[in-house]
């Protein structure tokens, strides 16, 4: 049996990743902006792109055909490699995002908790499948480049989206600002640029990015008139829902025990 290359590879990647994130000027700037209570989703966006860039650079350095068995990325390696590293990306970006959202909420006196999305398992699986699908790693190594940055941007976007939805449910009237970036924006991105109401019917398009898209998506909460009443009502509904779930779960336990 061939030795398992993953633990050693992962250790190298993590060490390099930690060093580079520690020394990154872009990350420092974002963290300083948070400390100075000036951070917005533009910082979350920058933070996410930088985290994605660093991971893709570190991949490029360490994940090479010459260290892979048969020069192929086997599913078993890809699965553990991407799950471990992307989980860390997700956690870093959402924990920064939660702090920024908390700051934005507090700035306008919205007393509801910042939301953090769970990791998008479908996206991770998609990348794992793509990278392990080819007999020759060099043919698919691009998957560890731009798509890793795109994955990381999506974490920031999902962060924004979950808070926008939460605020809308709490009775606020969230507006999302999408701005094109770069000198040649495509028609898709140009069409989506502007200020969107939460319920304009553009749906998830507002959060959609093609590869190499550097559009920024922003949300700055504003306190609405209805918020006070609705959010406490919302909270109560949530509590009632939680109680119901508990009772349902208990019921199921009872059924299992009987069986």
d(CA 129, CA 68) in angstroms, rounded, equals 16
CB 37 within 8 A of CB 104: no
Size of interface with Zn ion, in residues (CB under 5 A): 3
Based on CB atoms, which residue is closest to Zn ion, 73 or 189? 189
Burial 8-23 (b: 16+ CB within 10 A, else e): ebbeebeebbeebbee
Which residues sit opposite 218 in a β-bridge? 177
Based on CB atoms, which residue is closest to Zn ion, 69 or 182? 182
Distance of CA 46 to the CA centre of its chain: 12
Based on CB atoms, which residue is closest to Zn ion, 72 or 196? 196
Based on CB atoms, which residue is closest to Zn ion, 212 or 238? 212
CA 188, 191, 194, 200 torsion: positive or negative? negative
Rule CB under 5 A: which of 159-218 touch Zn ion? 189, 213, 215
Q: How far is the CB of 184 from Zn ion (least distance, A)?
A: 10
Q: How far is the CB of 20 from Zn ion (least distance, A)?
A: 26
**144 sits near Zn ion (criterion: CB under 5 A):** no
CB count within 10 Å of CB 95 equals 10
**54 sits near Zn ion (criterion: CB under 5 A):** no
Residue 110 exposure: Cα atoms within 13 Å on the Cβ side:
30
Q: How far is the CB of 60 from Zn ion (least distance, A)?
A: 24
Q: How far is the CB of 214 from Zn ion (least distance, A)?
A: 6
Based on CB atoms, which residue is closest to Zn ion, 50 or 227? 50
- Residues forming contacts to Zn ion in the complex (CB under 5 A) are 189, 213, 215
């Amino acid at each position: 049996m061939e030795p398992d290359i993953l633990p050693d590879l992962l250790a190298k990647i993590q060490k390099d990743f930690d060093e580079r994130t520690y020394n990154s000027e872009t990350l420092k700037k974002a963290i300083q902006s948070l400390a100075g209570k000036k951070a917005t989703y533009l910082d979350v966006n920058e933070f996410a792109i930088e985290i994605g860039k660093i991971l893709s650079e570190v991949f490029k350095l360490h994940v090479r055909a010459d260290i892979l068995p048969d020069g192929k990325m086997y599913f078993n390696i890809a699965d553990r490699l991407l799950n471990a590293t992307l989980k860390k990306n997700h956690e870093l970006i959402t924990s920064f995002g939660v702090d920024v959202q908390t700051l934005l909420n507090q700035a306008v006196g919205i007393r509801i908790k910042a939301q953090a999305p769970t990791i998008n398992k479908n996206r991770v699986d998609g990348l794992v499948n793509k990278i392990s699908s080819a007999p020759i790693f060099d043919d698919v190594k691009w998957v560890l480049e731009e798509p890793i940055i795109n994955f990381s941007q999506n974490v920031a976007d999902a962060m924004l989206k979950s808070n926008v939805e939460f605020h809308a449910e709490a009775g606020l009237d969230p507006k999302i600002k999408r701005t094109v970036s770069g000198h040649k924006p495509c028609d898709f991105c140009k069409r989506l640029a502007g200020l969107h109401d939460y319920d304009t019917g553009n749906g998830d398009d507002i959060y959609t990015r093609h590869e190499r898209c550097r559009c920024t998506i922003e949300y700055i909460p504003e306190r609405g008139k209805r918020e006070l009443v609705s959010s406490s009502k919302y909270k109560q509904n949530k509590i009632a829902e939680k109680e119901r779930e508990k009772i349902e779960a208990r019921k199921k336990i009872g059924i299992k025990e009987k069986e």
